[in-house]
Amino acid sequence: MEGKDSRRSGNRDRFRDKIRIWFSGIPMLGWLIGALVAVILEHLVGEALTDLLGLPKIPVLFGFVTVLKKPHLIPSILIFVFLIYVLPVSYTHLTLPTKRIV
Protein backbone atom coordinates (compact mmCIF):
# COMPACT_ATOMS: atom_id res chain seq x y z
CA MET A 1 0.00 0.00 0.00
CA GLU A 2 2.90 2.33 0.59
CA GLY A 3 3.79 2.06 -3.08
CA LYS A 4 0.41 3.43 -4.14
CA ASP A 5 0.58 6.29 -1.66
CA SER A 6 4.07 7.27 -2.73
CA ARG A 7 3.01 7.08 -6.38
CA ARG A 8 0.03 9.34 -5.70
CA SER A 9 2.15 11.87 -3.83
CA GLY A 10 4.71 11.71 -6.66
CA ASN A 11 2.02 12.47 -9.24
CA ARG A 12 0.69 15.24 -7.04
CA ASP A 13 4.18 16.72 -6.70
CA ARG A 14 4.71 16.61 -10.46
CA PHE A 15 1.36 18.28 -11.05
CA ARG A 16 2.19 20.92 -8.43
CA ASP A 17 5.58 21.52 -10.06
CA LYS A 18 3.99 21.94 -13.49
CA ILE A 19 1.56 24.51 -12.11
CA ARG A 20 4.35 26.29 -10.26
CA ILE A 21 6.43 26.50 -13.46
CA TRP A 22 3.40 27.68 -15.47
CA PHE A 23 2.66 30.55 -13.07
CA SER A 24 6.19 31.43 -11.91
CA GLY A 25 7.20 33.30 -15.06
CA ILE A 26 4.48 35.92 -14.71
CA PRO A 27 5.28 38.98 -12.63
CA MET A 28 2.75 40.00 -9.99
CA LEU A 29 2.02 43.17 -11.96
CA GLY A 30 0.83 40.98 -14.84
CA TRP A 31 -1.71 39.25 -12.60
CA LEU A 32 -2.90 42.60 -11.27
CA ILE A 33 -3.27 44.00 -14.78
CA GLY A 34 -5.25 40.92 -15.84
CA ALA A 35 -7.55 41.25 -12.82
CA LEU A 36 -8.01 44.97 -13.50
CA VAL A 37 -8.92 44.27 -17.13
CA ALA A 38 -11.42 41.63 -15.96
CA VAL A 39 -13.07 44.09 -13.57
CA ILE A 40 -13.27 46.78 -16.24
CA LEU A 41 -14.75 44.29 -18.72
CA GLU A 42 -17.32 43.21 -16.18
CA HIS A 43 -18.40 46.79 -15.58
CA LEU A 44 -18.46 47.78 -19.26
CA VAL A 45 -20.00 44.74 -20.95
CA GLY A 46 -21.15 42.52 -18.09
CA GLU A 47 -24.80 43.56 -18.10
CA ALA A 48 -25.12 43.36 -21.88
CA LEU A 49 -23.43 39.94 -21.91
CA THR A 50 -25.79 38.60 -19.24
CA ASP A 51 -28.76 39.70 -21.34
CA LEU A 52 -27.25 38.10 -24.43
CA LEU A 53 -26.61 34.80 -22.58
CA GLY A 54 -30.03 34.77 -20.93
CA LEU A 55 -28.79 35.13 -17.37
CA PRO A 56 -30.97 36.87 -14.77
CA LYS A 57 -28.02 38.95 -13.45
CA ILE A 58 -24.23 39.06 -13.42
CA PRO A 59 -23.04 35.79 -11.86
CA VAL A 60 -21.88 36.19 -8.26
CA LEU A 61 -18.97 34.09 -6.93
CA PHE A 62 -18.10 32.94 -10.47
CA GLY A 63 -21.66 31.69 -10.91
CA PHE A 64 -21.75 29.12 -8.11
CA VAL A 65 -24.83 30.67 -6.50
CA THR A 66 -26.77 30.69 -9.77
CA VAL A 67 -25.64 27.15 -10.66
CA LEU A 68 -27.02 25.82 -7.39
CA LYS A 69 -30.37 27.54 -7.91
CA LYS A 70 -30.77 27.09 -11.69
CA PRO A 71 -28.58 24.30 -13.08
CA HIS A 72 -29.90 24.79 -16.63
CA LEU A 73 -27.87 28.03 -16.80
CA ILE A 74 -24.51 26.26 -16.40
CA PRO A 75 -23.41 26.69 -20.06
CA SER A 76 -24.24 30.40 -20.04
CA ILE A 77 -22.40 30.93 -16.76
CA LEU A 78 -19.33 29.08 -18.02
CA ILE A 79 -19.26 31.24 -21.14
CA PHE A 80 -19.62 34.42 -19.04
CA VAL A 81 -16.86 33.42 -16.61
CA PHE A 82 -14.56 32.43 -19.46
CA LEU A 83 -15.08 35.65 -21.43
CA ILE A 84 -14.97 38.05 -18.51
CA TYR A 85 -12.46 36.49 -16.09
CA VAL A 86 -10.41 33.67 -17.61
CA LEU A 87 -9.68 35.20 -21.01
CA PRO A 88 -8.18 38.52 -19.78
CA VAL A 89 -5.97 36.86 -17.19
CA SER A 90 -4.87 34.16 -19.66
CA TYR A 91 -4.16 36.78 -22.30
CA THR A 92 -1.93 38.57 -19.80
CA HIS A 93 -0.12 35.30 -19.19
CA LEU A 94 0.45 34.74 -22.89
CA THR A 95 1.53 38.25 -23.83
CA LEU A 96 3.77 39.41 -20.99
CA PRO A 97 7.44 38.67 -21.44
CA THR A 98 8.50 36.01 -19.01
CA LYS A 99 11.74 36.00 -17.15
CA ARG A 100 12.77 32.43 -16.48
CA ILE A 101 15.84 31.35 -14.62
CA VAL A 102 17.26 28.24 -16.23
| Domain, as residue range, for 48 | 26-95
Checking if the pLDDT of 4 tops 60, the result is no
DSSP 6-67: HHHHHHHHHHHHHHHHHHHTS-HHHHHHHHHHHHHHHHHHHHHHHHHHT-SSPPSGGGHHHH
Q: What is the pTM of this model?
A: 0.66
Structural domain includes residue 31:
yes
Cβ atoms of residues 86 and 34 within 8 Å: no
Checking if the pLDDT of 29 tops 80, the result is no
Count: domains in the chain: 1
Cβ atoms of residues 17 and 76 within 8 Å: no
SS3 label, residue 101:
coil
Structural domain includes residue 86:
yes
Strand positions, DSSP E, the chain: none
pLDDT band of residue 44 (cuts 50, 70, 90) is: very high
